[in-house]
Amino acid sequence: MPHRPNPPNHCRRCGTCCRKGGPALHQADFALLRDKTIRREDLVTLRVGEMVHDQFKGRIIPLDFECIKIRSRDHTGCCFHQPVPALQAIASGATSHPSGHCAIHENKPAECAALKCWDIADLALISATPRLSRLEILGKDNPLFELIRDHETRCSVADLLRHIQTPNPESVEHMRQATAYDAALRDLLQKKAGVPANHITFILGRPLSEVILGLRRWVAMH
């Protein structure tokens, strides 16, 4: 019989969970946005209908609620994960670790504080608590919210999925118009409304072309 190492029963700070990507934010995390521990450029919005991996169900499912997440980088996972000890942290005498560290360790989001890879009970409890939404973060009087509502209508993920699954004569034109509108709105927000480029994935979610690619992949697998 091959030797299997015992499963861990404490955090070895290996950073594997951080390298897999950032957490979803819940209402308990709102204070971290208010005090700017987490900024808008650190966020990405996953919109209703986007396909996500549900770690509790062990499969990919469509989101039935909006999900604001800490953004990930391609190779190092969560954008707060520092893959090697930061020089600044070493200089200041902060605890460092060869597997890297969390840049906001003392104030990490609720999901991260609850995460134990050897026992997901606490994470399941936190995951079931209300999530933050763009409306709550921006405030209902924010003029951007009307644009977001319009974008949700014209670029609805559920509509796109329907057109991919059961195309009709209008489907190609619908996809073309939605993608063009999405790209134009991103441009307009930056050039006319002065929204920083790195806030756009929080305000409008991932570019529609990426969302469509994800939907096509999911449809191809089912």
Q: Which residues bind ligand SF4 (CB under 6 A)?
A: 8, 11-18, 22-23, 70, 78, 80-81, 102, 104, 108-109, 112, 115-117
Among residues 70 and 203, whose Cβ is nearest to ligand SF4?
Answer: 70
Among residues 33 and 178, whose Cβ is nearest to ligand SF4?
Answer: 33
Among residues 73 and 199, whose Cβ is nearest to ligand SF4?
Answer: 73
End-to-end CA distance of the chain: 36
Among residues 108 and 151, whose Cβ is nearest to ligand SF4?
Answer: 108
Among residues 12 and 176, whose Cβ is nearest to ligand SF4?
Answer: 12
Least gap, CB of 17 to ligand SF4 (angstroms):
3
Upper half-sphere CA count for residue 94 (Cβ side, 13 Å): 17
Least gap, CB of 2 to ligand SF4 (angstroms):
22
Question: What is the Cα–Cα distance from 187 to 208, expressed in whole angstroms?
Answer: 13
Least gap, CB of 221 to ligand SF4 (angstroms):
27
Least gap, CB of 150 to ligand SF4 (angstroms):
32
Least gap, CB of 78 to ligand SF4 (angstroms):
3
Least gap, CB of 45 to ligand SF4 (angstroms):
17
Among residues 18 and 155, whose Cβ is nearest to ligand SF4?
Answer: 18
Upper half-sphere CA count for residue 52 (Cβ side, 13 Å): 21
